[in-house]
Each structure stands twice: as C-alpha cells, then as structure tokens.
Amino acid sequence: MEIYTDGGKDKYCFVIPERYIVKTFKEKNITNNEAEYLGVIEALKFVEENSKITILSDSKLIVNQIKMEWHIKEERLRKLFQEVLLLVKEKKIEFTIEWVPREKNKAGKVLG
C-alpha cells in the first residue's frame, strides 16, 4: 500500500489513494521538518499491524534520515525518528520510504 505524506508550517497530512483516505492535522509551533515527520508518524499509527507499506514523501531530509543515510543533527527530529522506528517495530510493519518530486506528492496537493 502506498501512503503519501507531507508537512508544512503548523500542518501535516497523509493520503492513501487506493482507499480514498485523506487525514489532515494541525499543530502550532512546529517546524516544516517536524511536520514532515509527524505526517509519517500519523500514517504509521493509522495502518494496521503487519501491514506492508511504502511511504512517499517530497522531503529529501526526512526520507534520507529515516533510511539512515543522513545524520540527524536536531534532537527534536531525533525523537521523532525514534518514534517512527518504534511504531514500525511495535506494529510489525514492513516499511519502506521513498522520495517523490513535489508535483507527484498527492499529500502535497491536500496541503496546497
């Protein structure tokens, strides 16, 4: 199952096109990168245990940090990264994350 995620100033979302599911969230005082991570986290919370999913995001930072290809310098992002790993482990999710260009990110169209 493919899940598109996106985040921006004070808002984030995920979209599951094959199920026609769109979920949006608002949270004050978060950075764009925190919003990107929160979109991924909410998607992981939403899926059922033992799911097989691919997260698609237009954030190279988030994608490469979650793939453990880039170092995480900020403590707030490190905590969100750890939450991603914990959700994947606890829910036994078979998980991949891939970068997509902004114009192909269906979640980006939701946030505008």
Counting the structural domains of the chain, the total is 1
Q: Are 62 and 33 in contact (CB under 8 A)?
A: yes
Query: b/e string for 65-80 if b means 16 or more Cβ within 10 A?
Result: bbeeeeebeeeebeeb
Q: What is the CATH number of the domain that holds 23?
A: 3.30.420.10
Model confidence pLDDT, tens digit, residues 68-110: 999 999 999 999 999 999 999 999 999 999 999 999 999 988 8
Residue 111: predicted pLDDT: 81
Q: Residue 15 sits in which domain range?
A: 2-111
